[in-house]
Amino acid sequence: MEKHPLAQASARVSLAAYLHDLGKFAERAGIAEAERQADDRGNSLRDLNVQQYCPQFKGRYSHIHAAYTAIAMDLLEEHLPDIKSGDCSPFASWSSGSELADGDSLINAAARHHKPETFLQWVVASADRLASGFERSEFEEYNRAEEGLENRSHLSARMEVLLEKIRLSERSGGQKAGSHRYPLRPLSPQALMPEGARDCEPQDKASARAEYARLWEQFKKALSENPIPPSHKGDLNLWLDHFDSLWLTFTHAIPSATAAKVDGRFVPVPADVSLYDHSRTTAALATALWRWHRETGREDSAAAARLRDGSDDEEQKFLLVQGDMTGIQDFIFAAGSQTQKYAAKLLRGRSFMVSLLTECAALYLLESLGLPPTSQVINAAGKFLLVAPNTPETTVALEEARSVINRWFMDHSQGRAGLTLTWLPACAADFRGGQDGFRRLVERLFKQLEVEKFKRLDLCSEETPAVFEGYLERFADGECPLDEYSPAEISHRDVRMSRQARDQIRIGEALAKYDRLLVTWEPVNNRTLDTDIFGYRITFADTGETGSDPVRLWDFSLPQDGEAPLWNGCARRFINAYVPRFELADIADLTRYEQLGEEPPNRDEIKSLNHLACEDRRKDSEGGRQGITALHSLKGDVDNLGQIFQRGLEKPSFAKMAALSRQMNFFFALWLPWRCRERFRNSYTVFAGGDDFFLIGPWYSQLKLAEAMRKDFANYVAGNPDIHFSAGFHLGKPGLPVRRRGQAAEEALDASKAREGKDSVTCYGETVSWSDFCALLAESEELRQLKEEFSLSGSFVYSLLQLVDMAGEEKAGNPRGALWRSRLAYKVQRHIGDRLQRRTDETREAFEVRRRQWVESLNCKLANAISTWQSGYRIALCTHLYQYRH
């Protein structure tokens, strides 16, 4: 692909907008360099920059952070690409005096967003306001404000939890003000969890500033000690992709804005959007806005005036481009005669390839349009949203890109998977007005995407090639044994298979060895995959490997611990899944795997599904193993996601929508894999991201994982009862085909979704609320104690399943079902009372009293459990029974 002529210029506009609020970070950190004397009159750098970049009202300067933006950009200049000399278009080059005198520097465009004068400065300022959803009158008031909060300073304010503010019902109304905050720490799994506001917000300015200063020093240290590859500075788009991950790591918990004081009164500006999300959405809007003006030839002072007065706010300058991968499950669960032989590697490889397809599709569109990575504001689990200029050139490029992408999916998935691609024009007014403006825009986006899904792969277009043109001719060597719809083309360990299937196996193997990806236009080495993705070549790379001329370099490593900052020197993609491996403790005791009859594994070797099915077999009293050899497949997703995005926020904005998507994705794509590594080390992540997940693991461990996930998610959303997920379990042997395993888990999930109010889980065919599920797991533990206390046999516990069914019949109105109580009393007497042995030193009367007490106690406990849970008690009974089966 030829590089777009405006690609580098667009990236410079993006960088200016992206860093426009760099000063908020630097000012709150109290950087010492700002107080350095700058002239012989005693003025500091701060003094001079305040005069140049900050607005003035009634004899005072406001928004001092704008001055710090200029200061901080100078401080960080050695780590940035060259933004002063040579070709700096559309900005003025400092190496050309005449150009600088007539034009506008990148630093000025970034720092003068509260005091704009030129066209480029107004581009950044306009994008800043649109990202926040400000009405013009609101922003003018905010622009005269001093940062601060009623009863506390802007330094001590910590970021509010956007997820806590979602409202879909009246039951959560009492939490409206928000009682949780994010700790001011670099991005890590632990830093994702909100804390109580009192515990999180410092009580004095000195402590608050010290936290910011510590974070600033960590940011600078990361830039200098774990730097972006210097060779990547020459490609601003590549460098921006890296810097975006760095900025995310250190600003994800910095509030973009706080409440402000105007003329002695407070103007509420909720601190619920991070500096990262505001920076990225501002950059996306600014780039699209500048490109629209450049491509329409309107970059003069008149254009600046119209941006200033809003006279063209109704003109549709923006194009919102949505992508949504469809047919994901068909792609992952494609089957053939030997699929089960490679099940684990194929699952890993195909799931990872789905993420690659989405990433590469978005990248292909960005490069086709000449847009920087920051123009992609949403990227989660097969979905993305780009902001582009609404010009004829953009539409033509999108149509051509869609044709290329559709052709790829026809050739490589025979239409089973595809990418729905659609775009929607928008004007500046659409990003304002909360409910009346931006909410309607979001609703239009959702509706348009749903309609476009019915036009999958654009098969009705006259320009689309014949669906299976030349398809049958490719089957000269028969069909692929791993995917019956693909031809056998290449040999892998004496098995003929399709190139794509071999690549999927190679990916499954490589994920255990490498943690970086190179995206290039040409093959790099023998680690490059055979299958191109829309023309891109994918190569797995070692840590520290940066490539000679990559399009992108992505780090996909999993967090090593819960608190270390997630910055490894290059762009991060949250697309990897946790995979269980053999550890020293496993190898020290291999008795649980003896039934498999396999060779002893090596340390760090990836566990197969057969091994995982054995993990919950525990030692019994005789030194053997007990418990079933089985796997639980766990599938789930967030309930009412569309409603959450369309009407969950009282005052929605573009930045809030991007933040909401990112935060929802991070629980499943970041927190969950780390949680598995930290505590549930035998859980296999098939996919997790966006709003859904599919996990496979040892049957009992999966039950406990689901219980922990539910608790973690409740903490993650700060206890908001309006945000929850549903899930479904399927129990099966390890040899069960993965496709069937996925279908059965999906059916269980559907049953959970069908329950009124959702927020449910289906296990062993029973659908219950999450609170009931957790209580029933506790009931299974109670059964274990009863087993030890009363010597309950497996046959006795098994017989209770029939009584549970009868209790369900009673609830349904069948009189016969009421007999369960008498039958329970009979069974308890027969199995417990009649078999109880008299002690040698016990009188007959004492024995009869003890026997009666035992029978009454057990009968009462079991009757209460069945009465309380009815058919749901099956979950407790089955969980208990499966732990003791030999």
Lowest mean pLDDT among 171-175, 219-223, 380-384: 171-175
**Shared domain check, 764 and 779:** no
Burial class (CB in 10 A: 0-12, 13-18, 19+), 624: exposed
**Residue at a domain's end among 716, 738, 770:** 770
Q: Are residues 129 and 178 in the same domain?
A: yes
Which of 179-188, 217-226, 356-365, 453-462 has the weakest average pLDDT? 453-462
How high is the pLDDT of residue 359? 96
pLDDT at 222 over 70: yes
Note the pLDDT of residue 725: 98
Q: What is the pLDDT of residue 149?
A: 47
Residue 137 clears pLDDT 80, i.e. is over it: no
> Is the same domain home to 429 and 336?
yes
pLDDT bucket at 242, cuts 50 / 70 / 90: very high
Number of domains in the chain: 4
838 and 823 both lie in a single domain? yes
Count of CB atoms within 10 A of residue 588's CB?
A: 7
Domain identity same for 718 and 788:
no
- Give the pLDDT band (50/70/90) at residue 174: very low
Task: Average the pLDDT over 175-183 and give the result.
Answer: 78
CA atoms within 13 A on the CB side of 124: 32
What is the per-residue pLDDT for 150? 45
User: Residue 577's closest CA among 514, 670, 448?
Assistant: 670
pLDDT of residue 327: 92
pLDDT at 148 over 60: no
Of 147-161, 197-211, 247-261, 700-714, minimum mean pLDDT range: 147-161
* pLDDT at position 170 over 90: no
The verdict on 226 and 328 lying in the same domain is no
By mean pLDDT, which of 42-46, 302-306, 620-624 is the weakest? 620-624
Q: Are residues 225 and 327 in the same domain?
A: no
User: How high is the pLDDT of residue 124?
Assistant: 98
Residue 435 has pLDDT above 80, yes or no: no
Q: Is 332 within a domain?
A: yes
Mean per-residue pLDDT for 779-808? 91
Residue 522 domain flag: no
Domain membership of residue 714 (yes or no) is yes
DSSP 763: E
Residue 152's pLDDT band, with cuts at 50, 70 and 90, is low
Average pLDDT over residues 490-515: 92
Residue 599 lies in a domain: no
pLDDT tens, residue by residue, 312-349: 999 999 999 999 999 998 999 888 878 888 888 898 99
Q: What is the pLDDT of residues 627-648, one digit of tens each?
A: 999 999 999 999 999 999 998 9
pLDDT at 456 over 50: yes
pLDDT for res 133 = 83
Same domain assignment for residues 233 and 352? no
Whether 69 and 147 share a structural domain = yes
Average pLDDT over all residues of the chain: 91
Q: Confidence band (pLDDT; 50, 70, 90) for 59?
A: confident
- Residues 181, 71 within the same domain: yes
Is position 601 within any domain?
no
Q: Is 411 inside any structural domain?
A: yes
- Residue 706 pLDDT > 70: yes
- Short-list 67, 97, 72, CA closest to 85: 97
Structural domain includes residue 545: no
Domain boundary (742, 770, 798) is at 770
User: What pLDDT, on the 0 to 100 scale, is given for residue 261?
Assistant: 55
Backbone angles phi, psi at 376, to 5 degrees: -95, 105
For residues 566 and 575, give the distance between their C-alpha atoms in angstroms, rounded to a whole number. Answer: 14
Q: Tell me how far apart the alpha carbons of residues 681 and 686 are, in angstroms, rounded to a whole number.
A: 14
Shared domain check, 834 and 764: no
Q: Which domain holds residue 864?
A: 775-884
Domain membership flag for residue 580: no
* Last residue of one domain, picked from the residues 496, 512, 528: 512
- Whether cis (ω within 30° of 0) applies to the bond prior to 183 is no
CATH of the domain at 715: 3.30.70.270
pTM over 0.85: yes
Do 188 and 175 belong to one domain?
A: yes
List the beta bridge partners of residue 634.
695, 729
CATH label of the domain that carries residue 375: 3.30.70
pLDDT value at 712 more than 80: yes
Reply yes or no on whether the pLDDT at 268 is more than 80. Answer: no
Burial class for 660, CB neighbours closer than 10 Å (0-12, 13-18, 19+): buried
